[in-house]
Structure 1
Amino acid sequence: MLLPIFQSSFFQIDMPSITVNVKVFLNKMVIEGFNGGEQKVLEFVQTSYCIEWDYAISQNNQLSGFTLCQYDQRQYQFEGEVQSVTGLRSVLKGKIGFFNWEKEFSFQKMIKKTEHCEIFQVLRGENLKVIKVLQDNKTNLELQVNHLLNQKPHVNLLHCDEFYMDEQQIYLVMDYHDSSLEDLQHEYSNKIIPLNIIRTILQQLLEGLNHLHSNQIIHKDLKYGNILLTPNKTVKIFDFGLSQIGQNTTIRSGTGGYLAPEVFQNQPITSKSDIFSLGVIFHKMLTGKGVFKNLNENMAGKMKISSQLKDKNAKDLLLSMLNQDPELRFTAEDCLAHPFFIGEYDKPSQKICLSNYLSPLSQYKLYPQSTQIISLSL
C-alpha cells in the first residue's frame, strides 16, 4: 500500500466546520470526509480543479487555507494551521495548477510576445521570476514535459517549478536569468570564446541533453537563444515549446540554421536531431559563426565548417555531432566520453574518418526544397 507524502487535517468552512483529512500521493490528492463523509480524489494529470491559496490579512498575510476552483469558480474552501497549509502548498507545487497568479506576483515587464505565447517578468517578494503564458490549457505537451522534469529535475535544465491555470490559459513560473549564450559571445566582442570555457559549457549542455534523452524527451529547438547562463556560468537549457515525448516523432519543427538533415527528409526525428543542433551551437562557440547562414542553406544541406579549427579533438567531436547520418551521429553519452572532455588528446574518435571532411561542401547532397516543414522559426 502506497503511503502519502503528506497528510494533515483541515476545516471545510462551507460545511459548518467539518474536519477533512487531506492526503497527497505522487499522482493524486485525496480529501477524506469531504462534504461530511465523501472522498474526493484529484488526479493531478487529469483534474479540472486548481487551487487558490488564501491568506490571512490580520496575520501578516500568512497562509490560512485553500480553495478548490473549477472553471474559474471558487467552489470549496478549507482552513488550517499555517504549518499545515504551507506544507500542503510545498508538496503540491508543480503537481497541480494554482489559481490567480496576480495574487502572489506583481508584473514587472513584458519580455516576449508571439502568436502562441507571452513571456513576462514578475516579482514575488524579492525574487524575480518569469511567467510563460500558454494559450491552450487542455492537452498542452509543454506542460507535460515540465511535469516530467519537475519529477526528475536536472541542474542544467530550466523548467517550471509551479504553474497556474484558468479556463483559457496556463502560466508556467520559472526562475529568471538575464544572461544567455549570445551575451557570452558578446563578452568576447563576437570573437572566439576560449576553449576551456567552451569545454565547460558544452559538457553542461550535453549533461542536460542526456538527462532529457534518458527520459525520452526530444527538445527539438536547441539554439543560442534557448540557452541561459547563471552568474557562475551554470548552463540552463529552456523553452520546451516544441519538445516531444517519445523515442521519435514525425512532427517537423525547429529554428532555421540549427535543423538536422532528417528534418527535411522522410525520416523520423530522434534525440540524434538534438545532437546535430548542439553541433551547430558548438561550431558557433568555436568560430563565432554557424554552419548555415539561413533556412535555405539549412534545407539545401550547404554546411560550411570552418577550416580554422586548430584543436583536433574539438574538430573530431564537432564532426561526430554533425554527421549527416543519424545512425552514425554521436549520442550525448558518446560525446561526454570523447577525448575532448577526458583529455586523451592522442586518441581521436574512430567512428568517422576526418579525411572525409577535408572538403565539407562536396560531401553534402542537396535535399529536396519541396519538403514541407511546419512550425519553423528564423
Structure 2
Amino acid sequence: MAMRVWEQYEPVAEIGIGAYGTVFKARDLQSGKFVALKNVRVQNSENGLPLSTVREVALLKRLEHFDHPNIVRLMDVCTTTRTERETKVTLVFEHVDQDLKAYLEKTPPPGLPVEVIKDMMRQLLSGLDFLHSNCIVHRDLKPENILVTSSGQVKLADFGLARIYSCQMALTPLVVTLWYRAPEVLLQSAYATPVDLWSVGCIFAEMFRRKPLFCGISEADQLGKIFDLIGLPSEEDWPLDVSLPRCAFAARSAQPVEKFVPEIEPLGAQLLLEMLTFNPCKRICAFKALHHQYFQDKSAGLHEKWEQRIFLYTYS
C-alpha cells in the first residue's frame, strides 16, 4: 500500500481473497472507524493511469454524494506507481462485518421468515435500481458481494469495478463462480443491465433454499441446469451471435418453480420467473421488480419488527 494509505489506515485483519486480490479490514486513524481496503493493480497507458480507470473511479466517488442506504460507500482512493507499467489503486470502502453468504449460513432452521426475505429483496432491488439509473452494471452479483449490517440493512458492494479490474489477471473458475451468471454471459453474447436481474433471481431463490439454485461445473452444464427449470428456450429467443447452438441441448419443458423453491409463495414465484427469463429483452428490470405486486403487501415497520431476530442471525 502507498505511504499515504499506511499513514491514514491501520490494517487490522485480512478479510479474504477475491478474484482481484486481497481485501483488508483496517482502521481509519482519524475517525477510528473500520474500513475495507481493496488493492487493484492497473496497467498504465502511455500517459499513466488509463483514462477509463480514472472515469470509473470518478463515477464511483460521485455516487458517494447520494449516500444511498443500500450501496456501500467508496470513501477514498489512493494510488501508487509501482513500476512504469503498473499503478496500484487502493479503494477504501465502508466496512460491513458480514456478507449474505455468511448470513444465510448462520440462519437457523427452518430458514429466514418470508417477511425478512421480502424486506431484504426490496432493499437489494432498491440499490440495484439506483446503480442502473446511474448507468452502472454490477456484472458480478452474488451473495459474497451483498453485505448485511447488524440491523439487517442490505448494501451492494463491488459494483462498477469490472472495468477497473479489466487489466488484471483472467478470472479463474476457482474464484469466480458460474452459478449466478445470466445465460447471455454464459453464451458470451452481448449483455447489459438485465444480467444483474438474473443474478438477483438466483439470489432470491437461494434465500429460501439456503443453497445455490444452479450449481454448474461449466458454461454448458450451467445452461443445462437452468433449462431444467425454465425449459429449453425457443429458437426465436436464442441469440444469433453465439457459438453454442440451441440444438446442443436436449428439449425439455419448464418445471414449476415450487419444485426447486418449495417455500416460495405464488407472487414470489411469479417474480422469480420474471427475473429468470432467458431472453434479456423480456426480463424484468430493477424498477419494475421493485414495484412488483409481491412487495405491495409489505407491512409498515417490518424492518424494525425483524431487527432483533436478524441481529441474532448475524452474530449468533
Q: TM-score, normalization: structure 2?
A: 0.69
Question: 1:84 corresponds to which residue?
Answer: none
1:187 aligns with 2:106: yes
Which amino acid is 2:277 matched to? N
Could you tell me how far apart the structure 2 residues matched to 1:310 and 1:178 are?
28
User: Residues 220, 228 of structure 1: CA spacing in aligned structure 2 closer, same or farther, 3 A cutoff?
Assistant: same
**Is the Cα contact below 8 Å between 1:218 and 1:244 reproduced in 2?**
no
Could you tell me how far apart the structure 1 residues matched to 2:149 and 2:181 are?
26
Question: 1:146 corresponds to which residue?
Answer: 60
Work out which of the residue numbers 310, 325, 328 in structure 1 matches 2:279.
Answer: 325
Could you tell me how far apart the structure 1 residues matched to 2:205 and 2:189 are?
25
Question: 2:204 corresponds to which residue?
Answer: 282
Q: Give 1:1-378 correspondences, 5 Å limit.
A: 100-113=4-17, 116-125=20-29, 126-136=32-42, 138-139=49-50, 140=53, 143-167=57-81, 168-189=87-108, 191-240=110-159, 242-243=161-162, 255-265=177-187, 267-296=189-218, 297-300=221-224, 301-304=226-229, 305-307=257-259, 308-343=262-297
Q: Which runs of 5+ in 1 are unaligned?
A: 1-97, 246-251, 345-378
Q: 1:151, CA displacement in angstroms? A: 4.4
Greater mean deviation of Cα atoms: 258-267 or 279-288: 258-267
Could you tell me how far apart the structure 2 residues matched to 1:190 and 1:146 are?
38
**Is the Cα contact below 8 Å between 1:150 and 1:160 reproduced in 2?**
yes
In structure 1, the residue corresponding to 2:140 is in which secondary structure?
A: coil
Which amino acid is 1:334 matched to? K
User: Residues 202, 244 of structure 1: CA spacing in aligned structure 2 closer, same or farther, 3 A cutoff?
Assistant: farther
Q: 1:295, CA displacement in angstroms? A: 3.8
Larger fraction in helix: 2
**Is the Cα contact below 8 Å between 1:217 and 1:243 reproduced in 2?**
no
Instruction: Report the count of equivalent residues.
Output: 243
Could you tell me how far apart the structure 2 residues matched to 1:290 and 1:223 are?
10
Which is bigger in relative contact order (C-alpha 8 A, separation at least 6)? 2
Q: 1:203, CA displacement in angstroms? A: 0.4
**Is the Cα contact below 8 Å between 2:79 and 2:89 reproduced in 1?**
yes
Which amino acid is 1:343 matched to? D
Q: TM-score, normalization: structure 1?
A: 0.58
Could you tell me how far apart the structure 2 residues matched to 1:259 and 1:192 are?
25
Greater gyration radius: 1
**Is the Cα contact below 8 Å between 1:221 and 1:255 reproduced in 2?**
no
Could you tell me how far apart the structure 1 residues matched to 2:97 and 2:76 are?
20
Could you tell me how far apart the structure 2 residues matched to 1:266 and 1:111 are?
32
**Is the Cα contact below 8 Å between 2:136 and 2:159 reproduced in 1?**
no
**Is the Cα contact below 8 Å between 2:274 and 2:283 reproduced in 1?**
yes
In structure 1, the residue corresponding to 2:74 is in which secondary structure?
A: coil
| Aligned-pair Cα RMSD in Å | 2.8
Q: Which runs of 5+ in 2 are unaligned?
A: 82-86, 165-170, 230-256, 299-316
Larger fraction in strand: 1
User: Residues 255, 142 of structure 1: CA spacing in aligned structure 2 closer, same or farther, 3 A cutoff?
Assistant: farther
- Residue-by-residue CA offset, 1:216-242 (whole Å, 9 max, x unaligned): 110000000101111111111101365
User: Residues 298, 110 of structure 1: CA spacing in aligned structure 2 closer, same or farther, 3 A cutoff?
Assistant: same
Could you tell me how far apart the structure 2 residues matched to 1:182 and 1:112 are?
13
User: Residues 310, 278 of structure 1: CA spacing in aligned structure 2 closer, same or farther, 3 A cutoff?
Assistant: closer
User: Residues 115, 154 of structure 1: CA spacing in aligned structure 2 closer, same or farther, 3 A cutoff?
Assistant: closer
- Residue-by-residue CA offset, 1:173-200 (whole Å, 9 max, x unaligned): 1111111212321232364311100011
Could you tell me how far apart the structure 2 residues matched to 1:279 and 1:154 are?
22
In structure 2, the residue corresponding to 1:169 is in which secondary structure?
A: strand
In structure 2, the residue corresponding to 1:179 is in which secondary structure?
A: coil
Identity %: 27
Q: 1:118, CA displacement in angstroms? A: 2.3
